[in-house]
A = this chain, B = another copy of it.
Amino acid sequence: MKILIIGAAGMVGQKLIARLLADGGLGGRAVSSMMLYDIVTPGTPDALWPVETSAGDLSDPGEAERLVADRPDVIFHLAAIVSGEAETDFDKGYRINLQGTHHLFEAVRAQGYMPRLVFASSIAVFGAPFPEKIGDEFLSAPLSSYGTQKACCELLLSDYSRKGFFDGLSVRLPTVVVRPGRPNKAASGFFSNILREPLAGKEALLPVSRDVRHWMVSPRTAAGFLVHAATLDTKKIGPRRALTMPGVSVTVGEMIEALDRVSGEKRSTLIRDEADELVNRMVTGWPRDFDAERATELGFVPDSSIDEIIRIHIDEEMGGQLG
């Protein structure tokens, strides 16, 4: 089985690669080769199978064609300009997130074969007002260019799948928490900062009020969703190929309580409230909770709690030791 990962240098891409290496294959099947692609050349992991790496801009002419020329059996498309940057650089967001993805779909179609294509979408396809719990039949009415681009790609993916050009699945990821490493340009970064920094003994700024509720997944579980999406029987899914992933719905206040509980220390004293008007305004338009019935029935399993999400971070990123 040949695997192509677009956006392989990103956080979720790296977690996915680690999972494939740990599993020694994909869903019990052997991997014959793996192509890792991103805007910067991804690192070459130590794998049991040949790994090729490559850098480029998916929206450049000929780039998508080159990537699928070898007919990968499974394509993970995780590359995107993140929400904050897509909002400030309108052209870049549409070029990469919409046109780049559409180019990829066209390139696969031109090859005339039937790979599994897993597209990383986002709960940013939803915008307020919404019910306390968003169900699987609720409309996509994004309040950001990023969400708009993801929603359009979901529609394209369902249509291309319906027409038999590939076997696609859009996986709407909850906000990934705790993101390791440095903050990126995503406006939702503070959800990770308020856990990662205090766990490392550092101060973190909290730009919103403690009653803000949001929908989260650990990096490990997000990678697991992608693997499951690549291997499940799509005959059970029908034509609606965008699935809201199950997650953990917690308030910022509950996150902070869990931080102290899991760390066993008053690490929350390292969190300093500093209201940010822009982030506060954006947050009011973000989903708080979902009823992810379809994905749950299809076997996608969320983290059990925010405590587990924090433990996964300490385990995977900190060698089990607080900083």
- Chain B binder among A137-145, A191-199, A299-307: A137-145
In the complex, A322 has a CB within 8 A of chain B: no
Residues of B within 8 A of A139 (CB): 136-140, 240
What is the bound-complex CA distance between A151 and B90, given in angstroms?
Answer: 20
What is the bound-complex CA distance between A138 and B141, given in angstroms?
Answer: 10
- Chain B binder among A152-160, A222-230, A263-271: A152-160
Residue from B141, B158, B239, B240 in contact with A239 in the complex, judged by beta carbons closer than 8 Å: B141
In the complex, A185 has a CB within 8 A of chain B: no
What is the bound-complex CA distance between A159 and B158, given in angstroms?
Answer: 21
State which residues 120-178 of A face B: CB under 8 Å: 127, 136-143, 145, 148, 151-152, 155-156, 158-159, 162-163
Closest to A134 in B: B137
Contacts A137-B138, A240-B141: A156 and B163 contacting too (C-beta < 8 A)? no
Closest to A238 in B: B129
Q: How large is the interface on A (under 10, 10 to 19, 20 to 34, 35 or more residues)?
A: 20 to 34
Interface centre among A127, A139, A145, A163 (most CB of B within 10 A): A139
Number of copies: 2
Contacts A137-B138, A158-B141: A163 and B239 contacting too (C-beta < 8 A)? no
Contacts A127-B239, A239-B127: A148 and B141 contacting too (C-beta < 8 A)? no
Sample of 5 A–B contacts (CB below 8 Å) = A138-B138, A141-B239, A141-B240, A145-B163, A152-B155
Residue from B136, B148, B158 in contact with A148 in the complex, judged by beta carbons closer than 8 Å: B158
CB distance from A153 to the nearest CB of B (A): 9
Contacts A152-B155, A156-B152: A143 and B239 contacting too (C-beta < 8 A)? yes
Contacts A90-B163, A163-B90: A142 and B127 contacting too (C-beta < 8 A)? no
Closest to A285 in B: B239
What is the bound-complex CA distance between A140 and B159, given in angstroms?
Answer: 12
What is the bound-complex CA distance between A156 and B142, given in angstroms?
Answer: 10
Contacts A141-B239, A142-B155, A151-B155 supplied; 5 other A-B pairs, CB < 8 Å: A137-B138, A138-B138, A138-B139, A142-B158, A148-B155
Residues of B within 8 A of A158 (CB): 141-142, 148
Interface centre among A142, A159, A162, A239 (most CB of B within 10 A): A159
Check B156–A148 contact: CB distance below 8 A: yes
State which residues 58-98 of A face B: CB under 8 Å: 90
CB distance from A168 to the nearest CB of B (A): 13
